[in-house]
Amino acid sequence: MDFKWTTEHDAYRQRIKDVLKKHLPADWAQKSLYDNGSDFTVAFSRTFCPILAQEGLLIPHWPKEYGGGGMDAFHHWILNEEMWAEGEPRAYQYMSINWVGPAFIKFGTEEQRKVHLKGITSGAISYCQGFSEPNAGSDLAALSTRAENTGSSYVINGSKIWTSAASFADYCILLVRTGLQGRGGITVLVVPMDTKGITVRVIPSLQGARAIHEVFFDNVEVPLSALLGEQDKGWGVVTQILSNERIGAPRYALTWRGFNRGIELLKQHGRFKDTDVQAAAARCQGALEAAKALALRVIDGRVKGKPADAETNVARYAAVMADRSVCEFLGNYVPDFIFAADEPMLASAYKRTASIGIAAGAAEVQLNLISRNLLKMPREE
């Protein structure tokens, strides 16, 4: 075992830090509020992603033939850590890199790859994920938004909910039902968000601006070439996407930064001498270290070409526990600073701990998967 970064990895992290220092405005904290859906951050990302692309820092880990840097998955993780800790100056572009692009690489047609991979690697286009529906959350395979194959096009009717970034994304990776009930009848379509018949409503939330939306489809017509993979075989695409998404964003990176700021404030104000506070802080640090090490173990598996397994769910659940312990710590010991509104990073880190156990698969669903796939527990008879 070796828990040390190579000098190459360290140098790469330093390059990212340098680029962030050079390009993030001095008043980044006040303007972005560490919210990747804020008007400011989204506008910023539109110039920042192309800059990252020019610097060769946008897509370290894809194969070179697809416009990536051909580096190992650790580089990708390092990039994600640094970006996430700054509140994501790429806005939601990280999704394109984490799972949209890889889905096109694996399932896309020549034509789709040409358009989409070029758009992603230049930092020009961004996506949203139209999976969840009002009646299909954890039970995603129950989705009912329908697409009719008319022979010359797909006509889509239905609605999606909880869609992040929907009001400013260029495309939606949309799950629709083309066949019968269940996993077998699901299809993935790539739908331009400016297609006629799509209406988007922002849902105000605790998570930040434009983090969740409702998206309505009223006789939305797209060409047959919008199909990603095969018709009725979308579930295979979904599984692939979810395994890249679950350990995708290193959420602990911002949580950790907020936690460190909390400690700093406690010390400055003479409130860190209490041994209860100290013990609680160490428990958070342990939980964060564990979440990080378990996530890195998953990335190590990716680097070595191992298929994703239940370790992913273990790592995800450990990340939920870490966010939860930090949320509790900050809420217990520095509530005055959180609520004073002059600590945007602390406030954002605190606020965002609430979603990790829900977004990208509820915590309890991770436990179900650990029970089934790691402990091999029996199903209900």
Partner 1 sequence: MDFDFDSDHIALEAGLDQLLAKYRGSLPVGSAAALQENPAIAASLRDAGYFDIEREMGATGAVMLIEAVAKLPYTLEVAASALVAPKLSKQPLRGPIALSQGSLATPTRFLPQAGSALMADGNQVRAMDLSGCKVEALTSQFAYSYGRCAAADITKAPVLPGVTVGQLQQWWQIGLAAEIVGAMHSAIDLTVEYVKNRRQFNRPLGSFQVIQHRLSECTVLLHAARLLTYKAAWSGEPTDAALAATYAQDAAVRVVYETHQFHGAIGLTLEYPLHYWTNRLRRLQGELGGASQQGSRAAQALWAA
Ligand X SMILES: Cc1cc2nc3c(=O)[nH]c(=O)nc-3n(C[C@H](O)[C@H](O)[C@H](O)COP(=O)(O)OP(=O)(O)OC[C@H]3O[C@@H](n4cnc5c(N)ncnc54)[C@H](O)[C@@H]3O)c2cc1C
- Min CB(313)–partner 1 separation in Å: 8
From the list ligand X, partner 1, none, partner contacted by residue 321 (C-beta under 5 to 8 A by kind): partner 1
| Cα separation values, 292 from 81, 141, 204, 259, Å | 10, 31, 31, 15
| Cα separation values, 300 from 202, 282, 306, Å | 38, 26, 9
Token output for 358:
């829900």
Does residue 200 belong to the site contacting partner 1 (CB under 8 A)? no
Does residue 285 belong to the site contacting partner 1 (CB under 8 A)? yes
Between CA 109 and CA 210 the distance in angstroms is: 31
- Considering only 290, 308, 354, 358, the residue that binds partner 1 (CB under 8 A) is 290
Q: What is the CA radius of gyration of the chain?
A: 21
Half-sphere exposure of 155 (CA within 13 A, CB side): 6
Between CA 82 and CA 225 the distance in angstroms is: 37
Does residue 1 belong to the site contacting partner 1 (CB under 8 A)? yes
Size of the site for partner 1 (CB under 8 A): 53
- Min CB(317)–partner 1 separation in Å: 5
Does residue 232 belong to the site contacting partner 1 (CB under 8 A)? no
- Min CB(114)–ligand X separation in Å: 26
Q: Which of 190, 191, 189, 187 is nearest to 233 (CA)?
A: 187
Contact assessment for residue 143 and residue 133, using Cβ atoms and an 8 Å cutoff? yes
Give the range of 12-20, 59-67, 83-91, 372-380 binding partner 1 by CB under 8 A: 372-380
Give the range of 49-57, 137-145, 268-276, 334-342 binding partner 1 by CB under 8 A: 268-276
Does residue 267 belong to the site contacting partner 1 (CB under 8 A)? yes
From the list ligand X, partner 1, none, partner contacted by residue 267 (C-beta under 5 to 8 A by kind): partner 1
From the list ligand X, partner 1, none, partner contacted by residue 137 (C-beta under 5 to 8 A by kind): ligand X
Does residue 7 belong to the site contacting partner 1 (CB under 8 A)? no
Q: Which of 134, 138, 90, 117 is nearest to 248 (CA)?
A: 90
